[in-house]
Amino acid sequence: MYHRVAPYGSAALSRYRVTPEAFEQQLSQLRDAGYCSASLHDWRVAKELNRPLPGRAIHITFDDGYCDFMTYAWPLLRKYNFSASVFVATNAIGGASTWDQRYGEVLPLLGWDELRWLHTEGVTVGAHSANHKPLTALSIGDIVHEASRARVMLERGLGVPVTSFAYPYGDQDEIVRHLVGACGYIFGLTCLSGMSQFDDQLMALPRIEIAGSDTLEEFVTKLSW
């Protein structure tokens, strides 16, 4: 799980920013170790059949949809033959990351033209709610609104089904998972740390966060969970 790949930014948000040089080292390590991209649908089928995916499967995700994904992350992902999912807060598409304001940094976010282009390039675009709010703090009606509005906007804007949802801030519980799933999502991605196992709920999939401070050795260790 990544947020930004960029050479600079607020010190307060450095945990969520991996430099392009470090990101390229990580992708090179993945390629050389025999990793390959697998979709969430691939993982769902493997779970249903109780049959491991071939090779060393990995699914790379980016939360928030910062514009610098286009500048730094996607060219490197293509270079090393990896795909990715990008999760966006739909009411902020083409706007700015106002949720970062408290840390002294507000950044431009991907717009519709960029998202459509990325989709044609093979990037999966998923929902990160409509307004990037912690969902457990909301009423049942507001949770449904956040999840359903995000799905409708993305499906209308991209012209494809949207089945994956990353919980903002990783904030979720059984009620949130149930309501988001009832809005038509198949996959819910958390911030719980770990590799996904066959007994994981599809609406509560764990992820491994890659921090800006991680050395290459720490990156490799995280993959050996």
CATH number at residue 106: 3.20.20.370
Q: Report yes or no on 199 lying in a domain.
A: yes
Q: Report yes or no on 149 lying in a domain.
A: no
Mean pLDDT of 153-169: 98
Query: What percent of the chain is modeled with pLDDT above 70?
Result: 100
Mean pLDDT of 121-143: 98
Nearest to 150 by CA among 169, 140, 141, 163: 163
Mean pLDDT of 99-107: 94
Length reported for the chain: 225
Instruction: Give me the pLDDT at residue 54, please.
Output: 86
Q: Hunting for tokens 């928030």 — which residue is that?
A: 64
Q: Residues 186-222: pLDDT tens digits?
A: 999 999 999 999 999 999 999 999 999 999 999 999 9
Instruction: Give me the pLDDT at residue 15, please.
Output: 96
Spatial neighbors of 42 by CB under 8 A, at least 6 apart, are 53, 57
- Interatomic CA distance for residues 128 and 149, integer angstroms: 11
Instruction: Give me the pLDDT at residue 224, please.
Output: 86
* Amino acid, res. 126: G
Q: Report yes or no on 152 lying in a domain.
A: no
Q: Report yes or no on 41 lying in a domain.
A: yes
Count of domains in the chain? 1
Q: Report yes or no on 187 lying in a domain.
A: no
Q: Report yes or no on 54 lying in a domain.
A: yes
Spatial neighbors of 109 by CB under 8 A, at least 6 apart, are 64, 65, 66, 67, 88, 89, 92, 93, 94, 95, 96, 97
| Average model confidence (pLDDT) across the chain | 96
Q: Residues 58-98: pLDDT tens digits?
A: 999 999 999 999 999 999 999 999 999 999 999 999 999 99
Read off the pLDDT band of 55 (50, 70, 90): confident
Q: Report yes or no on 163 lying in a domain.
A: no
- Interatomic CA distance for residues 144 and 217, integer angstroms: 41
Q: Report yes or no on 119 lying in a domain.
A: yes
| Segments forming the whole domain that contains residue 96 | 4-126+193-223
The 3-class SS string of 117-141 reads HHHHHCCEEEECCCCCCCHHHCCHH
pLDDT at 114 over 90: yes
